[in-house]
A = this chain, B = another copy of it.
Amino acid sequence: MLSVKTVEWVPDTPGRLLPGRVRILDQTLLPDNIRFIETSDIEVVWRAIRTVQVRGAPAIGVAAAMGVAAAAQRLDAPSATALVSKVAELAGYLATARPTAVNLFWALDRMKRAAARHAACLPAEIKETLVREAIRIRDEDAAMCRAIGEHGVALLHDGDTILTHCNAGALATAEFGTALAPVYVAMERGWTIRVFADETRPLLQGARLTAWELGQAGADVTLICDNVAAQVMKESRIQAVLVGADRIAANGDTANKIGTYGVAVLAKAHGIPFYVLAPSSSFDFSMPTGATIPIEERGAEEVTSGFGKRIAPREVKVYSPAFDVTPADLIAAIVCEKGIAKPDYRLSLQRPAGGQALPAE
Chain A contact residues, CB within 8 Å of chain B:
31-32, 165, 196, 198-202, 204, 207-208, 211-212, 215, 220-232, 234, 258-259, 261-263, 265-266, 268-269, 295, 303-304, 307-321, 324
Q: Select which of B261, B311, B319 is within 8 A of A196 by beta carbon.
A: B319
B320 and A225 contact, CB distance less than 8 A: yes
* Chain B: minimal CB distance from A202 (Å): 5
Q: Known pairs A207-B303, A222-B317, A227-B258; list 11 more (Cβ under 8 Å).
A: A196-B319, A208-B312, A224-B318, A225-B259, A228-B319, A228-B321, A230-B261, A230-B324, A231-B262, A262-B266, A307-B309
A292 to chain B, nearest CB (A): 15
CA distance A207 to B304 in the complex (A): 8
A224-B316 contact given A32-B310, A262-B230, A262-B231, CB 8 Å threshold:
no
A311 near B204 with CB under 8 A, answer yes
- Is the beta-carbon distance between B207 and A226 smaller than 8 angstroms? no
Dominant secondary structure at the A interface:
mixed
Query: In the complex, A202→B308 CA distance in Å?
Result: 16
B312 near A223: Cβ-Cβ < 8 Å: yes
**A312–B262 CB distance below 8 A:** no
Whether A223 pairs with B316 at a CB distance below 8 angstroms is yes
In the assembly, how many copies of this chain are there? 2
Given the known A-B contacts A199-B303, A266-B265, are A207 and B312 also in contact in the complex, defined by CB atoms under 8 Å? yes
Known: A307-B311, A312-B31. A318 touches B222 (CB 8 A): yes
Contact call A207/B262, Cβ cutoff below 8 A:
no
Contacts of A319 in B (CB 8 A): 196, 222-224, 228, 232
CA distance A340 to B245 in the complex (A): 44
Q: Which listed residue, B221, B258, B316, touches A231 by the CB 8 Å rule?
A: B258
Contact indicator A309/B309 (Cβ below 8 Å): yes
Taking A231-B324, A308-B308, A311-B208 as contacts, is the C-beta distance between A225 and B262 under 8 angstroms? Answer: no
